[in-house]
């Protein structure tokens, strides 16, 4: 029984991290109606930028976010303004091709500068855990990842409801033509949304880099996780992404608990497949 409780706790904590991984993709799909195939590579790019900052300045990976987040925001803003905004009116195919091309470029740049060796953002927190009664352990880094995922989603929810820019973003997402008639500069709004999306990916990238080893090609794995979370929660649903992260994380951990570690990914994707069959619009579709 204790092992099952331990697995459930681990699944919930992992789900919070998955929500942090997927929220940026959900955000940009809900607002710009764009599927960003480079989302996972931007996440890993954030990990590598944090690696450079920590090794150069000798600071904690978490402190490196002070530099990493603004840098990644600027990258996302520029990518949207200089590339994606130019082809949005031409349909979904050109934007998919651009993001696919960005994915290839980012991977090869990382391979060129950092080689294919495994990297890790070293932090003493990664080894710490909280022991509860009955020997149940809570890894501190997974707890931090879960809390960060929840905080990101709550902050974004408040931002969209309480601020002028957030309301402008939601207006552009709901009805582009009316938003333009009301004086909203939709191209800048889309660039702002992409900057926020890539910033959240960078935060998730630092968390991932502390917990796991990463490579220049690791982005593809996290793109699949983000896609699964977004599909289960509902495309564009902020709070649905959080719920889907918990569902996906718990499904994976329970699969490993009952069927062995080799079944962890399989059970998560079985849940995704069931969702696509019976509710393709997601649990909390807008």
First to last CA, the chain: 38
pTM of the model: 0.92
pLDDT tens-place string over residues 6-21:
888 899 999 999 999 9
pLDDT for residue 30: 84
In sequence order, what are the residues at sequence separation of 6 or more whose Cβ sits closer than 8 angstroms to the Cβ of residue 50? 61, 64, 65, 68, 121, 202, 205, 206, 209
Q: What are phi and psi of 119, to 5 degrees?
A: -125, 160
Q: Which CA distances in Å does 175 have to 31, 143, 161, 170, 185?
A: 10, 38, 16, 9, 13
Chain position carrying tokens 């608990």? 257
pLDDT for residue 68: 97
- Tens digits of pLDDT across the chain (286 residues): 677 888 888 999 999 999 999 999 998 988 888 889 999 999 999 999 999 999 999 999 999 999 999 999 999 999 999 999 888 878 778 999 999 999 999 999 999 999 999 999 988 888 888 887 777 888 899 999 999 999 999 999 899 888 888 888 888 777 777 777 777 777 888 899 999 999 999 999 999 999 999 999 999 999 999 999 998 988 778 888 999 999 999 999 988 878 887 888 888 888 888 888 888 788 776 5
What DSSP designation does 214 have? B
Q: What are phi and psi of 117, to 5 degrees?
A: -65, 150
């Amino acid at each position: 029984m204790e092992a099952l409780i331990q697995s459930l706790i681990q699944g919930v904590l992992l789900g919070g991290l998955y929500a942090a991984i997927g929220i940026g993709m959900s955000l940009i799909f809900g607002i710009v109606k764009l599927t960003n195939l480079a989302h996972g590579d931007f996440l890993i790019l954030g990990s590598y930028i944090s690696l450079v900052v920590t090794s150069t300045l000798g600071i904690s990976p978490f402190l490196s976010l002070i530099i990493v987040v603004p840098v990644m925001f600027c990258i996302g803003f520029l990518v949207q303004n200089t590339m994606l905004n130019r082809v949005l009116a031409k349909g979904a195919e050109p934007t998919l091709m651009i993001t696919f091309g960005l994915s290839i470029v980012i991977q090869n740049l990382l391979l060129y500068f950092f080689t294919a060796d495994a990297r890790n953002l070293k932090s003493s927190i990664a080894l710490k855990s909280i022991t509860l009664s009955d020997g149940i352990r809570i890894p501190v880094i997974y707890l931090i990842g879960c809390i960060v995922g929840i905080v990101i989603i709550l902050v974004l929810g408040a931002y969209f409801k309480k601020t002028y820019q957030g309301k402008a973003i939601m207006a552009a997402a709901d009805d582009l033509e009316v938003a333009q008639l009301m004086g909203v500069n939709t191209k800048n709004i889309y660039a702002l949304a992409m900057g926020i999306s890539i910033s959240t990916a960078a935060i998730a990238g630092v968390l991932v880099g502390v917990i796991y080893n990463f490579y220049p090609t690791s982005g593809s794995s996290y793109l699949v996780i983000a896609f699964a979370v977004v599909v289960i929660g509902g495309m564009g649903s902020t709070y649905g992404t959080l719920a889907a992260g918990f569902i996906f994380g718990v499904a994976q951990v329970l699969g490993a608990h009952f069927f062995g570690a080799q079944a962890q990914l399989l059970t998560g994707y079985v849940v995704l497949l069931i969702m696509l069959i019976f509710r393709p619009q997601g649990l909390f579709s807008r």
